[in-house]
Amino acid sequence: MALSGKVTVVGAGFYGSTTALRLAQYNIFKEVVLTDIVEGKPEGLALDINQSRSIEGFETLVGGATTTAEGGGYEATANSDVVVITAGLPRKPGMSRMDLIEVNAKIVRGVAENVAKHSPNAVVIVVSNPLDEMTALTQLATGFAKNKVMGQAGMLDTARFTNFVASKLNVPVSSVKTLTLGSHGETMVPVPSRCTVDGKPLSTLLSQAEIDELVDLTRNGGAQIVALLKTGSAYYAPSAAAARMAKAVYEDSKEVMPVCAWVDGEYGISGVYLGVEAEIGKNGINKVVATDLTPSELESLKVAAEAVRAKQADVKNL
């Protein structure tokens, strides 16, 4: 199969570089570009990844480009089909995702403006924290249609929920199906009514107290990793989620994934970026896919929507 297409990953930290590696190893893209403001870092990582190609058996070329706050270096990213924005500071122990909003807003705004300048037809996947707010800011800064900008949240949170359920029941992760909606933060909404193990409802296998415990673990999954690492935050699972989203866009797969998408009427909620299930394709979000929720789950989703709505309104001025 001939390789084609171009993906840019902005930010060459652990998250960005691991995402670039995963994208290259899919062996479907002609080029993956990794950028960073630290001089030489993206070029060095790109060289390292390229030298693994014969070992791992992929042909995708990875390029590195040092960029500046003034927009220098972004020429290397021109005409990307997909751009993954990982730029920004990671959390430190004791910090919430919201603690990063002002400092990361300035960084993400600058990146988004340069993405729009050099890749005006790209689909953008945002992973910078606080996720929901940075997704909204990216759409404003690029001026792209709302369906062309999405955030990576539910894919990661759902994967965490799945892992906790599988570990609790000592079953293969492949037998577990879970779902999380809402925000990527304190108002995350795990959806136990949509959780099954080998097709059996989770509620028939665990008590409500046990399910609540797993929900709490999921909601605090990122903070737990930050506390253990002491410096930095999670990147293996997050990069897997972002890479799969980019792959779905490029392949026009029409897969339904839990992502941060613009909601306009679904669930009785309008005018906000929120974690929902959506069909992903070459134009980004094809459509939001509403699912049946219990009354309490729906209420929690509406609470999450209002919580992130207020913060997303604030980012216009950041």
Q: Which residues are catalytic?
A: 184
Q: Nearest CA to 275 among 186, 180, 137, 196?
A: 180
Q: In the 3-class helix/strand/coil scheme, how is the chain assigned residue by residue?
A: CCCCCEEEEECCCHHHHHHHHHHHHCCCCCEEEEEECCCCHHHHHHHHHHCCHHHHCCCCEEEEEECCCCCCCHHHHCCCCEEEECCCCCCCCCCCHHHHHHHHHHHHHHHHHHHHHHCCCCEEEECCCCHHHHHHHHHHHHCCCHHHEEECCHHHHHHHHHHHHHHHHCCCHHHEECCEEECCCCCEEECHHHCEECCEEHHHCCCHHHHHHHHHHHHCHHHHHHHHHCCCCCCHHHHHHHHHHHHHHHCCCCEEEEEEEEEECHHHCEEEEEEEEEEEECCEEEEECCCCCCHHHHHHHHHHHHHHHHHHHHHHHC
